[in-house]
Every structure is written in structure tokens, then in C-alpha cells.
Amino acid sequence: MDRMEGEPGAEIVFPNVLLLSSGGNVEIGKPFINGARVVGEIVKHMRAKKIRVFIFKRKKGYQRTIGHRQNQTVVRVKSIVTG
């Protein structure tokens, strides 16, 4: 996921659940499912693999290479609470 605030080991709650499936029953939110939430734990903060962006303008002799690394947070889902 994109970087989130909090230290590793901290609990984080996602209150907006779009789809919930239990057994063969699927419930779709409009836009969210009332009372449902996902509880997770922050495992670590890291940076994604570097991507290279190449900019080129033809007939002008202009070219440039830049790189980008996105900050990410690894989250482990502990439970899905329905209500």
C-alpha cells in the first residue's frame, strides 16, 4: 500500500469496505458496507523497486532519464469485522 502513518506493530483500521464475501454469499456496498471494517497490523515501511522514466523529444536532441521509488507500507490483515 502507499505509505501510511504509524510505527511497525501498530494496529490500523480500514472503515470503508467495498465488497464482502463469506462462504458463497457476496455482499456489494453502495458505496460501502455499513458496519464492516478491516483490522490490520503495520509490518514494515519500505520503498518499492525503482522505475526508470525516459523522456525523449524527437528532432530536438533532448533526452533525459530519471528514476522514482514509491514509499510503501506492508500491512498484514488480522481480521474482517462485519456488523
Contacts of 13 by beta carbon, 8 Å cutoff, 6+ apart: 37, 38, 39, 40
Rounded mean pLDDT of the chain?
93
Q: Domain residues of the chain, as ranges?
A: 11-81
Q: What value does the mean pLDDT take over residues 47-76?
A: 96
pTM given for the model: 0.73
Q: What value does the mean pLDDT take over residues 49-57?
A: 96
pLDDT at residue 53, as a whole number = 96
pLDDT at residue 22, as a whole number = 83
Strands (E), the chain: 11-14, 19-22, 25-28, 37-47, 51-57, 62-68, 71-81
> What letter would DSSP give residue 56?
E
